[in-house]
């Protein structure tokens, strides 16, 4: 064995260490939006500021650095799936390329 085989692998970022899940129908996609806006919502006695998606909504694989339509995720705003699932947005709010790439999930 020579020295190169004993070399310790260089640290990789956590995203690269995660196991990739193959894409299949019903795959969970992360939700991203072109922009984020803050809106006050809820009943007056419990009103609070809430971060809302603005502009088109994009989808991305769980481990990816680009949305399904190819936009870098750094330029988009991520929203949690529990409240903002991509397939729950109305069709006209979704990016059509992401919608098609995600298998046109129904709302």
* Between 52 and 55, CB nearer to Zn ion: 55
Q: Which residues bind Zn ion (CB under 5 A)?
A: 58, 67, 69, 95, 98
Using CB atoms, what's the residue nearest to Zn ion?
95
Enumerate the β-bridge partners of residue 35: 54
Minimum CB separation from Zn ion for residue 59, in Å?
A: 7
DSSP assignments along 6-23, one per residue: HPPPPP--HHHHSPPPPP
Minimum CB separation from Zn ion for residue 38, in Å?
A: 23
Minimum CB separation from Zn ion for residue 22, in Å?
A: 21
What secondary structure letter does DSSP report for 5?
H
* Between 63 and 64, CB nearer to Zn ion: 64
Minimum CB separation from Zn ion for residue 67, in Å?
A: 5
* Between 3 and 90, CB nearer to Zn ion: 90
Distance (Å, whole) CA 66 – CA 7 = 32
**C-alpha to C-alpha distances, 94 to 2, 32, 97, nearest whole angstrom:** 54, 10, 9
Query: 107, 78 in Cβ contact below 8 A?
Result: no
* Between 28 and 47, CB nearer to Zn ion: 28
């Amino acid at each position: 064995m020579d020295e190169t085989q004993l070399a310790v692998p260089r640290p990789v970022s956590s995203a690269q260490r995660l196991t990739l899940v193959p894409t299949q129908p019903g795959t969970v996609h992360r939700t991203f939006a072109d922009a984020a806006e803050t809106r006050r919502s809820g009943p007056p006695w419990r009103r609070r500021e809430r971060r809302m998606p603005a502009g088109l909504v994009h989808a991305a694989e769980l481990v990816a650095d680009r949305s399904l339509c190819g936009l870098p995720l750094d330029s988009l705003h991520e929203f949690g799936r529990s409240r903002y699932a991509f397939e729950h947005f109305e069709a006209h709010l979704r990016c059509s390329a992401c919608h098609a790439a995600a298998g046109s999930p129904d709302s």
